[in-house]
């Protein structure tokens, strides 16, 4: 009898769990943490959104948005739906904020529409570390519908504003323009500051210092009082007058004061503070800061492991988790035991903070900047360093400093002067021990003046310096973010995009890291401020942000919030559309220039990138050229704006090139030097700020009150 072989059944293979994240940068990191049972895919951001071609908001039906699959994203969505069908479960791991919640909501709906068999859960984490990701997987939650409603309300609100104001600008000002709810307020702030800058007239003033000798030691002190009041040194003659009076007179140390100060460490970074500090310390734009922070958050390969180095970078809170506090205190106990406080240091969360996420901090304190330097790019290293230093220092002891101020008195007849010299020294370094990139002047300090009351000193020499009063500084990335935060405009996720949109639309340009409104930006702002004052008002925009927060906190329904806004706004749009005159061509100017192609006059017109010359014979003749900004001092040709090859950096050169090689790296302004007749340019330096000077190197004219016509 022949035995038949029984076939062994293969064990049924368990289906993988599909994890969907937003960014492809996270995929590798999370895959390593979760292993082969999980299939990690990226949605690449929003897959379902409002169409760009129309408003797509049903204002008569509770402002219901009409969502479509984003153009070019149908393939990704279909792949995710197919993967979901094959999976045992779907985990939606989008970012833990309003936008992330909305992406998860749309994905859930899209997958459910194709299959209702697979369970779908929402997970979230604040940092991409093995512990945080695995903990999130074990603790899934429901989608936060209130957060989705807040995102929907913001999207609808921005769409209604943008898609009603923009066509109005096309009709009344120029085709292709656009306006946004929050960006227009930021533009207004920048334009108002520019007006202050332009109207400011620098005033000359001088300072006087003296070197005093005591034995072999020389102390440099500044004149702080003259005849009982602050010295008014308006010009060089005022300085010379004082020097003549006190030269060779006896000088005595009149007073020595010691002041002790306790210096507290700063709290760990919020998004706005990180953007401000990286702008000031590293020279990063807000956009660059967020791009590099995203890389650090998503994960960097450290040897054989891959780890997210910082927590989520969009936050308005300084809160720190208990786990992180324990981690940093253990590290400090090993490395700086004398600077470890008895209890963790607590910081107050701002009154406007949503407090959804922790502060920005390193995920592991033991990953010091120096220890992982070889694994990071230069930009990653610098940004990680300030995040690490700020967090670790925030949990260390206070520093203490002592300042010694010495007043030196000099009497001449009925006149009396007081010179002052100060020195500061750290008595206790405290948290400064870990600061390198973030070290301040207080840490470096300077020498104490070793003088006592009654000591007689001699004047070795005088030194005077000319200055000019500085007007208000133009906004930089750091200062506009600080202002937006203070006024309650925008949220951590929007600061960088607000600036980027203004730059991309060419309403604002960057000059010496300052934000300068263009002619086009000023015109748009004038129209909006005159006819939509309320809607480009900082307080009104901040109140709308508060209402969006109320939606997220389930205090109000989003359609009700939109309804309150929509009716008066639509009335204002209709009224302006019907009643204001067109601005089209308002800035066109006839010129004396003649078109070299057809002989007709050239007209000065405003384009997307500023003014240019166009033939009045358009459309038959389409000749255009750059506007001459000044007369060339070498050959009397025209100086126009040019761009270098490659990076496209702007400079100003003569149209007679290559016969004339004149160039200027500073933009000519519409003003001739009253002293020599050459053209003036605007320069910027830390000492004088933005100021106007003559292009002639042999002319010393500096724009001042005396130079004004």
Give the residue numbers annotated as catalytic, written as ranges: 312
Q: Is-contact 47 128, C-beta < 8 A?
A: no
In 3D, which of 634, 612, 608 has the Cα closest to residue 623?
612
Which pair of structure tokens corresponds to residue 338? 């004398």
Closest CA to 472 of 185, 189, 272: 189
Handedness of CA 437, 438, 441, 444 (dihedral sign): negative
Long-range contacts of 93-96 (CB under 8 A, 24+ apart): 93/19, 93/20, 93/21, 93/30, 93/123, 93/124, 93/125, 93/136, 94/20, 94/21, 94/22, 94/43, 94/124, 95/22, 95/124, 95/312, 95/314, 96/124, 96/125, 96/126, 96/312, 96/356, 96/357
Cβ–Cβ under 8 Å, residues 268 and 390? yes
Cα(646)–Cα(351) distance, rounded to whole angstroms?
Answer: 47
Cα-based angle 212, 213, 215 (whole degrees, multiple of 5): 160
CA 707 – CA 709 distance, rounded (Å): 6
Distances (CA, A) of 339 to 326, 332, 439, 461, 492: 15, 8, 17, 44, 32
Looking up tokens 């020279």, which residue turns up?
283
Three-state DSSP at 220 gives strand
Q: CB neighbours (10 Å) of residue 141?
A: 10
Three-state DSSP at 333 gives helix
Return the C-alpha torsion angle 569, 575, 576, 579, nearest 10.
Answer: 180
Instruction: State the SS3 of 475-539.
Output: CEHHHHHHHHHHHCCCCCCCHHHHHHHHHHCCCEEEECCEEEECHHHHHHHHHHHHHCCHHHCHH
CA atoms within 13 A on the CB side of 126: 18
CA distances from 351 to 346, 355, 488 (A): 15, 10, 10
User: Do the beta carbons of residue 209 and residue 463 sit within 8 Å?
Assistant: yes
CA 469 – CA 452 distance, rounded (Å)? 35
HSE at residue 115, side-chain half, CA atoms within 13 A, is 16
Residue identified by tokens 């999370």 is: 30
In angstroms, what CA-CA distances link 550 with 101, 157, 276?
Answer: 16, 15, 28
Closest CA to 95 of 125, 121, 120: 125
Residues paired with residue 464 on neighbouring β-strands, in sequence order? 208
Residue 704 to residues 680, 692, 709: CA-CA distances in angstroms?
A: 13, 9, 10
């Amino acid at each position: 009898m022949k035995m038949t072989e029984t076939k062994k059944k293969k064990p049924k293979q368990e289906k993988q769990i599909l994890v969907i994240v937003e960014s492809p940068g996270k995929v590798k990191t999370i895959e390593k943490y979760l292993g082969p049972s999980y299939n990690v895919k990226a949605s690449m951001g929003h897959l379902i959104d409002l169409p760009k071609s129309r408003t797509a908001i049903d204002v008569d039906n509770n402002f219901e948005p009409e969502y479509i699959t984003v153009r070019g994203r149908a393939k990704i969505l279909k792949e995710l739906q197919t993967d979901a069908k094959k999976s045992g479960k779907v985990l939606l791991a989008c970012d833990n904020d309003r936008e992330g919640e909305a992406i998860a909501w749309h994905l859930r709906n899209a997958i459910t529409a194709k299959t209702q068999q697979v369970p779908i859960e929402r997970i979230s984490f604040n940092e991409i570390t093995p512990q945080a990701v695995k903990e999130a997987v074990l603790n899934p939650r429901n989608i936060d519908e209130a957060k989705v409603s807040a995102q929907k309300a913001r999207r609808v609100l921005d769409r209604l504003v943008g898609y009603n104001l923009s066509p109005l600008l096309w009709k009344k000002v120029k085709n292709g323009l656009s306006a946004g709810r929050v960006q227009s307020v930021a533009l207004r702030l920048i334009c108002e500051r520019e007006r202050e800058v332009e109207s400011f007239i620098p005033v000359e003033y001088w300072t006087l210092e003296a070197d005093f000798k005591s034995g072999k030691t020389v102390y440099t002190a500044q004149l702080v009082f003259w005849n009982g009041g602050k010295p008014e040194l308006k010009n060089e003659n005022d300085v010379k007058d004082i020097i003549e009076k006190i030269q060779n007179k006896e000088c005595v140390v009149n007073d020595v004061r010691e002041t002790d100060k306790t210096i507290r460490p700063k709290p760990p970074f919020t998004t706005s503070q990180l953007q401000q500090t990286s702008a000031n310390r590293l020279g990063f734009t807000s956009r660059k800061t967020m791009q590099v922070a995203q890389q650090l958050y998503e994960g960097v390969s450290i040897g054989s492991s891959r780890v997210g180095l910082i927590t989520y970078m969009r936050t308005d809170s300084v809160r720190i988790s208990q786990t992180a506090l324990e981690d940093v205190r253990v590290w400090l106990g090993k490395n700086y035991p004398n600077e470890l406080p008895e209890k963790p240091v607590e910081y107050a969360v701002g009154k406007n903070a949503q407090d959804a996420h922790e502060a920005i901090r390193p995920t592991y304190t033991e990953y010091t900047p120096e220890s992982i330097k070889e694994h990071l790019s230069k930009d990653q290293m610098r940004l990680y360093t300030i995040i690490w230093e700020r967090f670790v220092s925030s949990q260390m002891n206070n520093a203490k400093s002592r300042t010694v101020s010495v007043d030196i008195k000099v009497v001449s007849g009925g006149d009396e002067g007081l010179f002052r010299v100060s020195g500061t020294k750290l008595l206790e370094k405290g948290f400064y021990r870990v600061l390198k990139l973030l070290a301040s002047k207080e840490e470096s300090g300077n020498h104490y003046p070793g003088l006592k009351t009654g000591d007689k000193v001699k004047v070795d020499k005088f030194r005077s310096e000319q200055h000019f009063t500085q007007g208000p500084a133009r906004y930089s990335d750091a200062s506009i973010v600080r202002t937006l935060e203070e006024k309650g405009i925008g949220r951590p996720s929007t600061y960088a995009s607000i600036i980027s949109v203004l730059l991309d639309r060419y309403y604002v340009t960057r000059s010496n890291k300052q934000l300068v409104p263009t002619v086009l930006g000023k015109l748009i702002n004038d129209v909006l401020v005159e006819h939509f004052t309320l809607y480009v008002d900082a307080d009104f925009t901040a109140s709308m942000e508060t209402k969006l927060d109320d939606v997220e906190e389930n205090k109000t329904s989003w359609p009700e919030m939109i309804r309150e806004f929509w009716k008066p706004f639509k009335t204002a749009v209709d009224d302006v559309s019907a009643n204001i005159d067109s601005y089209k061509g308002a800035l066109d100017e006839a010129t004396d220039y003649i078109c070299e192609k057809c002989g007709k006059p050239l007209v000065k017109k405003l384009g997307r990138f500023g003014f240019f010359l166009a033939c009045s014979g358009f459309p038959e003749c389409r000749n255009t050229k750059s506007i001459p900004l000044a007369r060339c001092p070498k050959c009397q040709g025209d100086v126009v704006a040019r761009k270098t090859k490659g990076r496209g950096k702007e400079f100003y050169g003569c149209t007679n090139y290559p016969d004339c090689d004149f160039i200027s790296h500073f933009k000519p302004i519409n003003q001739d030097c009253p002293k020599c007749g050459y053209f003036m340019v605007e320069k910027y330096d830390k000492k004088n700020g933005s100021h106007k000077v003559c292009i002639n190197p042999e002319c010393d004219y500096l724009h001042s009150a005396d130079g004004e016509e």
